[in-house]
Amino acid sequence: MFRRTLMAGAVALAGLIGPVAQGQAQAQDRTEIQFWHGLSQPLGGLLERLVAGFNDSQTQYRIVPTFRGSYPETMVAAIAAFRAGQAPHLVQMFEVGTGTMINAGRAIIPTHELLSQTGVNINFDDFLPGVRGYYAAADGRQMAMPFNSSTAIVYYNKDAFRRANLNADQFPTTWEGVGQALQALKASGHACPMSTAWPTWLHLEQFSAIHNIPLATQGNGFGGANAELRVNNPLVLRHLTNLVNWQKEGLFRWGGRDNAGEALFPNGECAIMLTSSGFRARVQREARFDWGVAMLPTYEGTQPANAIIGGASLWVMNRGPNTQRSAAELRGIAEFFAYTARPEVAGKWHMDTGYLPITRSGFESARATGFYNQPANIGADVPIEQMLRGASSENTRGIRLGGFVEIRVIMQEEMERALQGQQTPEQALTNMTTRGNAVLRNFERANRGG
């Protein structure tokens, strides 16, 4: 509470400085559009290059990108700025914040409204369904503009596989097979056979999607704010029990929350790493061994469905509770959205950053350059294939839960307690459900007024 007031004060101070910057912009007669993003270097620089490309392509609008810290920090900053009547036009919001933004009422301008008001046309049929759907309303209308999307895959150390007499060219497709591989890796003297980053995204969210089981009711929350968690099911229990047992036997190592575990792969310490497809560039730069990528494994007897995405999308915000955007500002934002969807722009963004190509035409444009045939890029299309494999259902569209930032932390905490041996996997899943549902009910109540 103290912090919030301080933040409001800081924003108010920034407001005093703001008009000066605006005055300069008017001198050059361009409509200025503030764009807050959460990408640190080198990705932030690539984003700024993309924005510069748009600014150079026309003379009416200027997008001003500003780095606002990590994704959660950017989200909090944008919300505080809105409350102080100083929100940016555009904010890059990570996928976990989607549920909060969709329910934000007049704080946001949905993308479909923006496009119909400005008459700018973007062909959303060209977007990958798994990407587009994550940011669409239940009726299919686009709420946010997809921008940088990633998915989760497996990275594995081929040299370690060979030392353990495993087939280095074929990563096991089932978790049963992975379990055997872990034993073999340990027997061959590898101290850390497997670790993971983004523990809940990988082992609960992606896991549920590719096994085609619900993480929450109401189609993972797409159907309404009255969703309830469904993580307490036999398959998730089986997986969490495996992880706990593997950790006890020294087959699996907890690398920490969020992406803290990633560091254990490129230095050769852990032979298998489950993490974001965006990790590729770092492995390429740092790993001093032969490595490969593979799709996420599933349990025997299940039909793998498509994976879901992470990453972020672009949201249009109103300036404050009582102020609207001008027609020129809206037009500029819509033009920028259309620019990012151009095949050559989307393709270049994908190839430069390692994020998924979010449009089919962008994928084709990348393929046309021979990108996937270059030796350095072998396997770069695995994440895309994983997005497109299997049947898609309401379990594989994505996750749309209010207060999901909090729920993810709760899930991590309960996983940690289970791995510490403080509680059984059953208790962990029960606690996740109880605590997570309390958050969902609070969110539902706070947003009823709209």
Partner 1 sequence: MRKKVIFKGIALPWLLLLPQLLITGVFFFWPAGQAIYGSFLREDAFGLSRQFVGLENFTEVLADPNYLASGWTTVIFSTSVAFLALAAALYLAVQADKAIRGANAYKTMLIWPYAVAPAIAAVLWLFMFHPQIGLFGRMLNGLGVPWDYKLNGDQALLLVILAAAWKQVSYNFIFFMAGLQSIPKSVLEAAAIDGARPMRRFWTIIFPLLAPTSFFLLVVNIVYAFFDTFGTIHALTGGGPGQATTTLIYKVYVDGVQNLNFGSSAAQSVILMVIVILLTAVQFRFIERKVHY
| Nearest to 232, CA basis, from 217, 248, 221, 254 | 217
* Nearest approach, Cβ of residue 414 and partner 1 (Å): 8
Tell me which amino acid residue 212 is: N
According to DSSP, the β-strands at 90-94 and 192-196 are unpaired
Element (H, E) at 90: strand 90-94
* Nearest approach, Cβ of residue 438 and partner 1 (Å): 9
* Nearest approach, Cβ of residue 5 and partner 1 (Å): 4
Q: Which residues bind partner 1 (CB under 8 A)?
A: 1-6, 72, 76, 79, 82-83, 100, 103-107, 254-257, 260, 263-264, 269, 321, 403, 405-406, 409, 412-414, 416-417, 419-420, 422, 435, 439, 442, 445-450
* Nearest approach, Cβ of residue 66 and partner 1 (Å): 20
3-state secondary structure 178-233: HHHHHHHHHHCCCCEEEEECCHHHHHHHHHHHHCCCCCEHHHHCCCCCCCCECCCC
**Identity of the residue, 81 or 338, whose beta carbon is nearer to partner 1 in the bound complex:** 81
- How many contiguous H segments (helices) and E segments (strands) does the chain have? 19, 11
As a whole number of angstroms, the distance between CA 173 and CA 195 comes to 17
Q: Which two tokens stand for residue 199?
A: 């523990």
* Nearest approach, Cβ of residue 248 and partner 1 (Å): 12
**Identity of the residue, 183 or 423, whose beta carbon is nearer to partner 1 in the bound complex:** 423
As a whole number of angstroms, the distance between CA 379 and CA 96 comes to 27
* Nearest approach, Cβ of residue 75 and partner 1 (Å): 9
Q: Which two tokens stand for residue 15?
A: 């407001």
**Identity of the residue, 160 or 225, whose beta carbon is nearer to partner 1 in the bound complex:** 225
Rounded to 5°, angle at Cα 231 from 225 and 233? 130
Q: Which two tokens stand for residue 136?
A: 């669409």
* Nearest approach, Cβ of residue 387 and partner 1 (Å): 29
**Identity of the residue, 191 or 378, whose beta carbon is nearer to partner 1 in the bound complex:** 191
* Nearest approach, Cβ of residue 44 and partner 1 (Å): 21
Reply yes or no: is the peptide bond before residue 42 cis, omega within 30 of 0. Answer: yes
Give the burial class of 201: count Cβ atoms within 10 A of its Cβ; 0-12 exposed, 13-18 middle, 19 or more buried: buried
**Identity of the residue, 108 or 164, whose beta carbon is nearer to partner 1 in the bound complex:** 108
